[in-house]
Chains A and B, each alone.
Chain A
Amino acid sequence: MQFFFEVLIGGLLSGVMYSFIALGFVLIYKASGVFNFAQGAMVFFAALTFVGIMEMGVPFWLALILAFGAMVLLGIATEKIVLRPLVNQPPIALFMATIGLTFFVEGLAQAMWGASVRGLDLGIQDEPIGWILEATDIGVSKFDLFAAGVAAVLVTALALFFQYTRVGRALRAVADDHQAALSIGIPLQNIWRIVWAVAGFVALVAGLLWGARNGVQFALVFTALKALPVLILGGFTSVPGAIVGGLIIGSSEKLAEVYLGSYVGGGIDSWFPYVLALAFLLVRPEGLFGEKHIDRV
């Protein structure tokens, strides 16, 4: 039983990491209806940029600010160069454009900072917390708990931002109905830029945490893909959905790997989240927190 809990908690906490990436997706999808496949690439870009700047001897906080600046620039450039010319195109065209963006950003990141694997130290060790281990015999990683804390802070901050600021209100209006928002004078393009910047910030946080855990490397891009099943579980438009979906995917893939994987040769966490999401889709196509859609003719 202890072992079960250890696996479960480990899974839940690694699920938080998926949630981070899914969160970026949700923000952009809500505000602009764009399914941003490039969110994973943005995470990679952010982490690599941060590490690259640090390597030039820049102090941590300045590097953080500079990396954030780079993400804002990337967001604005994407809005201007990719999204604006594609307004009113079918969503699937925009989706494919973000696949193109994924490749571009991956290439750009490595062209700028090199392709070698870097370590990233945030000063928090990935080791079991002593007193929990003693009291319950369950190993809970200090780092994972820290990441969960950051997630909680980030989600709260975003929720407050959406609820109480002018920009947040405008954002919710845009998410509800683009045309109506435009007609009452909300500057759509500014809003999109802000959303991409916020998504860039979320990507930076995710990149730092992932990078500190597994090293900053190209494989990050594949891990980021697992945010897609998270979105399907949680629904494309729901922030709580992204969190809950991430937790479900994280814990179930770990449990499946430990308890089922041994029967079939392991490695099933490469596909388990997708198949889980697929099975889920057949039962509830709109996701846990998504809205049901009626086709009108």
Chain B
Amino acid sequence: MSGRQIGDVILDLQHISLRFGGVKALTDISFDVREHEVRAIIGPNGAGKSSMLNVINGVYHPQEGRITFRGEERRKMEPHMAAMQGISRTFQNIALFKGMTVLDNVMTGRITKMKATFIEQALFFGRAHREEMEHRKKVEEVIDFLEIQHIRKTPVGRLPYGLQKRVELARALAAEPSMLLLDEPMAGMNVEEKQDMCRFILDVNDQFGTTIVLIEHDMGVVMDISDRVVVLDYGKKIGDGTPDEVRSNEEVIRAYLGTGH
């Protein structure tokens, strides 16, 4: 990890609590994310990891707590605002647009950057045409980067699982995000696919300096690639620190690692 320099705090979450009716999904959670780092969130099933990501990019709105992103404090995010400010994400259960081709899916990642009005697009003239070409170029770079050139015209519904995950990453990367939220990017993959995905994540972090927040179950992977780790259990934070610190944290061992995996 050569040129990468971990910077200041870019995202700060303070005392976040989230409830669904009577069910407490998250209770008083605070942690921060520094620029250019790889930050992992781990924890057993139902610990509230996905909910945490959903709070960060505004899909869920916490009842309590505050979020500071790039120095700007807010009570809650709205999803498209988060996207505009450079937060992209992938989902645990792939959320691609099944009826569209790989190329079109990745192109949607650049939608916040397209300025032509629908009338210009209907006439396919001037700005609309120019934009379409410029963004296509950018998207092709991402497609090259993730090595999915051969399937660019294939409808995503027909692709195998591992490739779909990669296309989803491509869509997130197409937005040139400053922060990337990855929800179990390697779940359900075989060893080889996992290695590829690890390589891509590290390359993204290294080459573009993208801050990465990821949820992952594979402990080996998490310990290998992340700079700092947050551990959640039953919606509460039970550990936070470098992989080594977390590994030796007794509460974490009891709740999670101690149970074998």
Chain A: residues with CB nearer than 8 A to chain B? 294, 297
Contact = CB atoms under 8 A, between A and B. Distances in A.
B100 to A, nearest CB: 16
Interface in B89-106: 91-93, 95
Contacts of A294: 20
A171 to B, nearest CB: 27
A297 B20 contact: no
Interface of B: 20, 50, 54, 59, 91-93, 95
Nearest to B95: A297
Contacts of B93: 297
Which 3 residue pairs spanning A and B have beta carbons closest together? Answer: A297-B91, A297-B59, A294-B20
Contacts of B91: 297
A294 B92 CA distance: 17
A294 B18 CA distance: 14
Nearest to B183: A297
Nearest to A294: B20
Contacts of A297: 50, 54, 59, 91-93, 95
Nearest to A292: B21
A294 B23 CA distance: 13
Contacts, number: 8
Contacts of B50: 297
A294 B25 CA distance: 13
A297 B215 CA distance: 14
A294 B54 CA distance: 13
B99 to A, nearest CB: 11
A297 B95 CA distance: 8
B212 to A, nearest CB: 19
A297 B93 CA distance: 7
8 contacts: A294-B20, A297-B50, A297-B54, A297-B59, A297-B91, A297-B92, A297-B93, A297-B95
Contacts of B92: 297
Given A294-B20, A297-B59, A297-B95, 5 more contacts: A297-B50, A297-B54, A297-B91, A297-B92, A297-B93
B57 to A, nearest CB: 10
A292 to B, nearest CB: 9
A297 B57 CA distance: 12
Contacts of B20: 294
A69 B203 CA distance: 68
A273 to B, nearest CB: 32
A89 to B, nearest CB: 13
A208 to B, nearest CB: 44
A294 B20 CA distance: 9
B199 to A, nearest CB: 27
Contacts of B54: 297
A294 B22 CA distance: 13
A297 B181 CA distance: 13
A21 to B, nearest CB: 34
A106 B59 CA distance: 45
A249 B54 CA distance: 40
B198 to A, nearest CB: 24
Contacts of B59: 297
Contacts of B95: 297
A214 B172 CA distance: 60
